[in-house]
């Protein structure tokens, strides 16, 4: 698992899953702004599934390193971590914005 090629493949998968999650979260926000909360919830679930897949890849890599397996340093993996962090932040912000939208709608 520790080879540079394997790390790069893992990083690319993380970027893909995290990017999908990020997109899903903002699609959900668009649906919430149109008051389509059922569709919003479905899209949020898609985002969560993608985010969970990215997070699992990260956790697997961290576990291997903690268990003593050598891992190659990779700028691409740093980039993948950035994508994952952005997706996590997007989720938190989008959920807050959806909640605010629902509260304003009740006024």
Q: Which of 35, 55, 79, 83 is the catalytic position?
A: 79
Give the Cα separation of 78 and 80 in Å (integer).
5
Gyration radius of the chain's alpha carbons: 17
Contact 24, 46 (CB under 8 A): yes
Q: Is 79 a catalytic residue?
A: yes
- Can you read off the two tokens belonging to residue 6? 């394997």
Give the Cα separation of 39 and 102 in Å (integer).
14
- Can you read off the two tokens belonging to residue 55? 């997070």
Contact 12, 81 (CB under 8 A): no
Catalytic sites, residue numbers: 79
């Amino acid at each position: 698992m520790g080879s540079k090629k394997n790390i790069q493949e893992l990083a690319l998968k993380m970027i893909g899953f995290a990017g999908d999650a990020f997109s899903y979260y903002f699609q959900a926000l668009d649906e919430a702004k149109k008051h389509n909360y059922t569709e919003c919830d479905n899209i949020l679930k898609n985002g969560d599934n993608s985010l969970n897949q990215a997070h699992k890849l990260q956790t697997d890599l961290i576990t291997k390193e903690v268990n003593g397996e050598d891992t190659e340093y990779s700028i691409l993996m740093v980039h993948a971590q950035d994508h994952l962090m952005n997706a996590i932040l997007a989720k938190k912000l989008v959920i807050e914005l959806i909640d605010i939208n629902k509260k304003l709608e009740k006024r």
